[in-house]
Amino acid sequence: MREVASVWQKRLQFPEGTVNVSGEFRAACVKSMTFKDGCMIPSGSPVNDYIDSAVRHVMLRQGVLGIKVKIMLDWDPKVKQGSVTLLPDVVTIHMLEEDENFYPQGLYWKK
């Protein structure tokens, strides 16, 4: 199964993501292998926008092999491939405009 997963990753040139290969062959126990690379969001609302997943079952002579692939998409403001919404951990700091009436008289130091 490890060889199957490595062939899938190399042939399809997966971006950073997760490949989960599980299955049972004749005269063997059920075995599940997970291969991860990079950053992946496991839960929350951004999973609906950023995670693309697919599940396929392969019927072999020895048994059934299941392959589940999850790929995290990038932020894309043009919506070609990705999500328009930013991740919630992105922090944007806006510069404060200088205002004379912002500080009350006599309480704070002025330049």
- Give the pLDDT confidence of 42-89 residue by residue, as tens digits: 888 888 888 888 888 888 887 788 888 888 887 777 777 777 788 888
d(CA 42, CA 53): 12
Per-domain residue ranges for the chain? 1-111
The model scores a pTM over 0.75: no
Smallest CA-to-CA distance from 60 within 21, 94, 99 is with 21
The fold of 1-111 is: Ribosomal protein S3 C-terminal domain (3.30.1140)
d(CA 58, CA 66): 6
